[in-house]
Amino acid sequence: MGDNRYDAVIIGAGIIGAALALELSRKGWKTLNVDKLPAAGYGSTSNSCAIIRTHYSTFDGAALAYEGYFYWKDWAGYLGVEDERGFALFQDCGCLIMKTEKNGNLRGMLANMDALRIPYEEWDPARIKQAYPFYDTHQYGPVRLPDDPGFGESDGSELTGGVFFPTAGYISDPQLATHNLQRAAEAAGAAFRFNATVAAIRKDGGRVAGVTLADGDEIDAPVVVNVAGPHSAIVNAMAGADTDMTITTRALRQEVVHVPAPPGGAFPFVASDSDIGVYARPEIGDHILAGSEDPECDEREWVDPDDYNQSFSKQAETQVMRLAQRIPALGIPNSLKGVVDLYDVTDDWIPIYDRSAVPGFYMAIGTSGNQFKNAPVAGALMAELIARCEAGHDHDADPVRFHLEHTGLDIDLGFYSRRREVNQESSFSVLG
């Protein structure tokens, strides 16, 4: 039984679960990540677009993202340990966000950027076309479906421009980034167990006592952390930890399309465009990844994470056709490639980083779509929150304040509470 006793069991070995293992291990905790898949980062993490950006609609969201940027900028230095597979690369190509009526021409967002001293450049249409001659700056909104009248038509007016963020880009290989974290965590003493499904969360006297796996193996730990991604709601229910939550999570089906860049070269930047309802980023081999920014006309398909359609629907073609409005030279292949996977989404698309009503049970959930970039910071803040709560601090009554090492800011972790009201400042989309 001695080999099955840990200070903390972390359910999930995606990017945030692995980051938490590293941060807790560096605090001297003996941790075990349990994942039902065969390797770290094999779930929804592996199909993340892994975009690194600092623009969020909330101050706290932007502060966390800007802090995360500095981890990725010195990824090898943060890890401090070699990986036999090499390091995931941060491609810091910058991000261009189009100003639209829907996003208030970015006025609120830029106020957050100014307050946080996050660098940006405002570009008018002429500047955009100077940098990216292939980019069409006409206004096409509101976002429509392809069979709606007026789809792909502009009244001839141009958008007012966009905002370019130099502190942005993407991670070349999200699964490799997770493996990097696993290796660093293991060097600090962490353990990982794959192909292992949690069947029960055991309690003793009302407090978490460990987990029981589907093969009957019992693992003892006074702390269990739910970092189960799209299965987070199932794990919360298993622990009886959903009794006092005002914010909940659900699994949302998403499609990301992989298409060739237009003739003449690679797509050179990350793009976010609420006028056409699409975000995009470069991909290896002169390709582009394109996803939906969840405009109102797109159906949101909430699913059972263990039973959903993994084939493309009409949505995939819709995303490419929308992107072609901005990039007229973009070809639309007869057979589309890409991925269908799940997001773990809260009611306001802002994650829950919190304790729970069950002593010893914690959660880092609702993170999909907009938190990959924050993984190293999320691991650090969760490790601090867990350590403080286990030392007796009442986080519900007096929320922990967490110091952001690189930016020097202190943030109130009550912002990410399971018991918060829905945050009306959110974009209520993948943008967070």
* pLDDT value of residue 265: 65
Whether residue 327 sits in one domain with residue 226: no
Distance CA(274)–CA(66), nearest Å, equals 22
Task: Indicate whether 159 and 179 sit together in one domain.
Answer: no
Contact assessment for residue 67 and residue 44, using Cβ atoms and an 8 Å cutoff:
no
The CA distances from residue 222 to 191, 193, 362, 381, in Å, are 16, 18, 11, 19
Q: Is residue 181 part of a domain?
A: yes
What pLDDT sits at residue 238? 98
| Strands (E) located in 141-197 | 162-165, 169-171, 191-193
Strand ranges in 134-233 using DSSP code E only, listed in sequence order: 162-165, 169-171, 191-193, 198-204, 207-213, 218-220, 224-226
- Confidence (pLDDT) at 369: 77
Whether 177 and 50 have beta carbons less than 8 Å apart is answered as: yes
In a domain, 113, yes or no: yes
Same domain? For 386 and 287 the reply is: no
Residues 6+ apart with CB under 8 A from 34: 9, 10, 11, 12, 13, 193, 196, 198, 211, 213, 219
Q: In 10 A of CB 278, how many CB atoms?
A: 25
For residues 306 and 328, membership in a common domain is answered with yes
> Which H, E and C letters describe 360-403, residue by residue?
CEEEEECCCCCCHHHHHHHHHHHHHHHHHHHCCCCCCCCCCEEE
How do residues 197-214 score in pLDDT, each as one tens digit? 999 999 999 999 999 999
User: Residue 3 contacts by C-beta under 8 Å, 6 or more apart in sequence?
Assistant: none
CA-nearest of 57, 51, 46 to 72 is 51
Together in a domain, 14 and 149: no
Q: Which two tokens stand for residue 372?
A: 């990959």
Same domain flag for 77 and 178: yes
Element (H, E) at 341: strand 337-346
Same domain as 199, residue 328: no
| Upper half-sphere CA count for residue 265 (Cβ side, 13 Å) | 6
Residue for token pair 């055991």: 202
425 falls within a domain:
no
Same-domain check for residues 153 and 25: no
Domain-located, residue 423: no
Helix axes 174-187, 15-26, angle to 10 degrees: 20
Distance CA 226, CA 201 (A): 11
Domain count, the chain: 2
Residue 165's identity, in one-letter code, is F
Q: Is residue 289 part of a domain?
A: yes
> Do 105 and 278 form a contact (C-beta atoms < 8 A)?
no
Measured from the Cβ of residue 160, the count of other Cβ atoms closer than 10 Å reads 16
Range of the domain at 111: 95-166+253-340
Q: Which residue among 324, 340, 356 closes a domain?
A: 340
Q: Contact, 161 vs 127, CB < 8 A?
A: yes
Six token digits for residue 127: 């500047």
Which DSSP category does 262 fall into?
P
- Kindly state whether residue 432 falls inside one of the protein's structural domains: no
Predicted pLDDT at 331: 86
CA 176 to CA 191: how far, in whole Å?
18
Q: How far apart are CA 150 and CA 134, in angstroms?
A: 22
- Picking from 278, 313, 340, the residue at the C-terminal end of a domain is 340
Nearest residue to 207 (alpha-carbon basis) of 356, 429, 311:
356
Q: What is the pLDDT along the chain (432 residues), one digit of tens a residue?
A: 347 999 999 999 999 999 999 999 999 999 999 999 999 999 899 889 999 999 998 999 999 999 999 999 999 999 999 999 999 999 999 999 999 999 999 999 999 999 999 999 999 999 999 999 999 999 999 999 999 999 999 989 999 999 999 999 999 899 999 999 999 999 999 999 999 999 999 999 999 999 999 999 999 999 999 999 999 999 999 999 999 999 999 999 999 999 999 887 678 999 999 999 999 999 988 999 999 999 999 999 999 999 999 999 999 999 999 999 999 999 888 889 999 999 999 999 999 999 999 999 999 999 987 899 999 999 999 999 999 999 999 999 999 999 999 999 999 999 999 999 998 988 887 777
Q: Which pLDDT score, from 0 to 100, does residue 357 have?
A: 98
Domain assignment present for residue 119? The answer is: yes
* Domain co-membership, 363 together with 397: yes
Query: Of 318, 340, 362, at which residue does a domain stop?
Result: 340
Q: What is the pLDDT of residue 400?
A: 98
Looking at the domain assignment, is residue 72 inside a domain?
yes
The Cα 310–Cα 286 span in angstroms is 25
CATH of the domain at 201: 3.50.50.60
What stretches of 205-336 adopt beta strand conformation (E)? 207-213, 218-220, 224-226, 249-260, 270-273, 278-283, 287-292
CATH for 116: 3.30.9.10
For residues 267 and 408, membership in a common domain is answered with no
Same domain membership, residue 211 and residue 353? yes
Same domain for 313 and 180: no
* Spatial separation of the C-alpha atoms in residues 416 and 414, rounded to whole Å: 5
CA angle 67, 377, 105 (to 5 degrees): 45
